[in-house]
Amino acid sequence: MLFSGAMTALVTPFKNGAVDEDAYRALIEWQITEGIHGLVPCGTTGESATLTHDEHERVIGICIEQVAGRVPVLAGAGSNNTEEAIRLTRFARKAGADGALLITPYYNKPTQEGLYRHFRAIAEAVDIPLVPYNVPGRTGCNMLPATLGRLAHDCPNIVGVKEATGDLHQGSQTIAACPEGFSVLSGDDFTALPLMSIGGSGVISVTSNIMPGAMSRMCNLFKEGKLAEAARLHHELYDLHQAMFVESNPIPVKTALALMGKMALELRLPLCPLSDAHLDDLKRELRKHALID
């Protein structure tokens, strides 16, 4: 599988209103040093919704350049406009990404047939590995296992899915509906190990922005058959996973990275700083894992 293990849904550092290239490159380098299995720029965690097209392309370009082939790069390229998604996916291919992550169309509320036609159009237009991203809690649209299975069988370059329903029933049905070798990646940190236990391939992780070593180690332990050790690490990280979503992602994780000295704390409206009550809770959780003093 091209996409497996722990892949970080990278934040996009900002400074004085612009992308902070130095902090971003340093974050990528640290991720690789810590043993991460892949990187995902310009997803939800990367605040793709408030990046300009020029910034979007630059963020992907920096990531590919800094990684220099050491781990796979799965570039965010989705849109609720099929033609725009094709354009962004063509850019990802031209820039040298290993694949493109494609959000299900938001706001439009397409039917299952509309979803099939959307992803098939992208797959036919751009010869690059594609990974649909199913997160109905953000999009108001749930791509059902039968639809994904149809796409996986009809379009050879649709090679995986980021399954972020948090529903292990749907995860199980998705794995059963898709061909062998299809990558089913958890989109929720706390379901990473449970999903792998029923045939999933790994996780596109928020938590690994701040603990890449631990998330990659959990996936490695599972792959090595050290299930009790993997489960113990899952439980150790559980409260931290919850802390990363105490307010809308990526507010908590960017706050954590700022507290760790990895970047300035800067979000783009309509996202705003973490509330004081949640900030105290987050600090306690970070101290528990020795991430801050």
Is residue 207 domain-resident? Answer: yes
Mean pLDDT (whole number) for 45-54: 96
Owning domain of residue 180: 5-224
Tokens representing 140 are 């108001």
Is residue 65 domain-resident? Answer: yes
Tell me the pLDDT tens digit for each residue of 204-250: 999 999 999 999 999 999 999 999 999 999 999 999 999 999 999 99
Task: Return mean pLDDT, the chain.
Answer: 97
What count of residues does the chain have? 293
pLDDT band at 148 (very low <50, low <70, confident <90, very high): very high
Is residue 251 domain-resident? Answer: no
Q: What is the pLDDT of residue 2?
A: 82
Is residue 23 domain-resident? Answer: yes
Is residue 239 domain-resident? Answer: no
CATH number, position 170 = 3.20.20.70
Phi, psi of 101, deg, nearest 5: -95, 125
Mean pLDDT (whole number) for 63-92: 97
Residue 1 has pLDDT above 90, yes or no: no
Which residues form the catalytic set?
133, 162
Tell me the whole-structure pTM to 2 decimals.
0.96
Q: What is the pLDDT of residue 33?
A: 98
Do 198 and 172 touch, CB atoms closer than 8 A?
A: yes
pLDDT band at 88 (very low <50, low <70, confident <90, very high): very high
Cα separation, 14 vs 109, in Å, equals 32
Q: How many domains does one find in the chain?
A: 1
Residue 201 has pLDDT above 90, yes or no: yes
Is residue 233 domain-resident? Answer: no
Distance of CA 189 to the CA centre of its chain: 10
Do 246 and 206 touch, CB atoms closer than 8 A?
A: no
Ramachandran assignment for 109, one of left (phi > 0), alpha (psi -120 to 50 degrees), beta (any other): left
